[in-house]
């Protein structure tokens, strides 16, 4: 984090010894911070705060020194006092949020970072921390929105695209869990479970589940195509061709109105999600899960188009 927000006490032209001494002490503390000697700056900032009480900038400086010296717990009261005196002091909210997160006080850290972003909406570092914290708290919709904003601010950020993909995956999983609660043995549940097994290359299990789904709903699109993929990966191209023909023979969905399946087939995944938001049926949960999975795939594809990164390596290692 930058140290540009450090405040100094200016020397006075009057030449009063006490004022000149405070100014010199302030400059010395600032120099120590710039050199990375945070622990040595702490006693100087304590003396300055005693000499000039209720100064939010000096409280911030002390809080920063404590934080960067590894004394995060001690930094929090100083930073809280600073923002109490000056609620618009953005750097204090940043360090307060960071300290809270690093101490495992995630909800409090989220609150501080939200206030900072109200003051500085373009602060990418804070938004990145906030998105990750929200995801860890299970506040997935909020995390997704933050990651979406990050991809808009910086389309070349691997952290943003990886986080967005993970958020969509979590939303797809949540929709699937709700589907399992609503209709655990439905063709929808069986199809999504089979899709998971197929991704894990558990071909026998995936094949069995797809066949059960077809028995219940023969016209469910995508299943014959998935079965064809299993046949191709297990060395049965003729059988795969037959399944693909069956997929093509299925009637197209009637789409005079924006039904969920119509949105999905047209690639309108965000519109699908918005249309299904208040619908708590098995049909809604199924198409939501599939839409979120497609959005996750799109985010990971974008990540793969960027230069090599730790996030891309982590994705490939999964």
Question: pLDDT 10s digit of each residue in the chain, 318 long?
Answer: 545 456 555 444 334 345 668 889 899 999 999 999 999 999 999 999 999 999 999 999 999 999 999 999 999 999 999 999 999 999 999 999 999 999 999 999 999 999 999 999 999 999 999 999 999 999 999 999 999 999 999 999 999 999 999 999 999 999 999 999 999 999 999 999 999 999 899 999 999 999 999 999 998 989 999 999 999 999 999 999 999 999 999 988 777 666 899 999 999 999 999 999 889 999 999 999 999 999 999 999 999 999 999 999 999 998
Q: What SS3 class is residue 95?
A: helix
3-state helix, strand, coil in the chain (%, to 5): 75, 0, 25
- pTM here? 0.85
Fold of 168-308: 1.25.40
| CATH 1.25.40.10 domain locations along the chain | 17-164, 168-308
CA distance 128 to 7: 26
Q: Please, which residues have CB within 8 angstroms of residue 298's CB and are 6 or more apart in sequence?
A: none
Q: Which CATH architecture has domain 17-164?
A: Alpha Horseshoe (1.25)
Could you tell me the two tokens for 33?
A: 């911070």
CA distance 318 to 307: 19
């Amino acid at each position: 984090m930058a140290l540009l927000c450090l405040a100094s006490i200016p020397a006075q032209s009057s030449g009063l010894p006490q004022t000149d001494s405070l100014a010199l002490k302030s400059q010395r503390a600032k120099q120590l911070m710039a050199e990375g000697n945070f622990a040595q700056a702490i006693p100087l900032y304590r003396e300055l705060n005693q000499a000039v009480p209720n100064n939010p900038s000096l409280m911030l400086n002390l809080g920063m020194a404590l934080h960067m010296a590894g004394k995060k717990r001690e930094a929090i009261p100083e930073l809280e006092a600073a923002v109490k005196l000056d609620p618009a002091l953005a750097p204090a909210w940043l360090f307060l949020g960071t300290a809270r997160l690093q101490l495992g006080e995630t909800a409090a850290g989220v609150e501080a970072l939200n206030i900072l972003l109200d003051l500085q909406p373009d602060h990418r570092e804070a938004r990145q921390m906030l998105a990750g914290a929200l995801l860890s708290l299970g506040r997935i919709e909020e995390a997704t929105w933050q990651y979406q904003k990050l991809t808009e601010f910086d389309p070349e950020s691997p952290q943003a695209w990886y986080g967005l993909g993970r958020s969509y995956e979590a939303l797809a999983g949540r929709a699937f869990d709700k589907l399992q609660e609503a209709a655990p043995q439905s063709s929808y549940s069986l199809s999504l479970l089979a899709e998971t097994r197929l991704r894990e290359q558990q071909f026998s299990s995936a094949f069995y589940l797809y066949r059960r789904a077809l028995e219940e709903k023969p016209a469910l699109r995508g299943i014959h195509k998935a079965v064809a993929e299993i046949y191709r990966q297990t060395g049965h191209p003729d059988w795969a061709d037959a399944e693909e023909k069956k997929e093509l023979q299925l009637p197209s969905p009637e789409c005079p109105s924006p039904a969920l399946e119509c949105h999905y087939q047209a690639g309108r995944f965000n519109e699908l999600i918005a249309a299904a938001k208040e619908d708590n049926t098995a049909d809604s949960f199924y198409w939501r899960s599939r839409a979120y999975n497609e959005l996750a795939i799109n985010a990971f594809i974008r990540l793969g188009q960027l230069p090599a990164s730790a996030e891309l390596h982590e994705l490939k290692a999964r």
